[in-house]
Amino acid sequence: MPLCFNTAADYLEAAREMAASGRSALARLLAEEAADRTSDPREAARTLREFPGPSLRQED
């Protein structure tokens, strides 16, 4: 896993690692961040489909 997150690909890689280790909630959060950093809406939607579930974000 990268030491820092700079791109959507970094977040997506981390999401896949979390999913593989059974941390589905963290995987979903990382996937949401990856989707937010993706300029193509179709690619963002595909990313979120890879990690199904409701959003777990708590935003003000």
pLDDT, one tens digit for every residue, the chain (60 residues): 546 888 999 999 999 999 999 999 999 999 999 999 999 999 999 999 999 888 877 765
The pLDDT value given to residue 5: 83
Those residues whose C-beta lies under 8 Å from the C-beta of residue 11, and which sit 6 or more positions away, are 5, 30, 31, 33, 34, 37
The pLDDT value given to residue 60: 57
Q: Per the structure block, which two tokens stand in for 14? A: 């981390």
pTM of the model as a whole: 0.86
Q: Per the structure block, which two tokens stand in for 54? A: 């409701």
The pLDDT value given to residue 31: 96
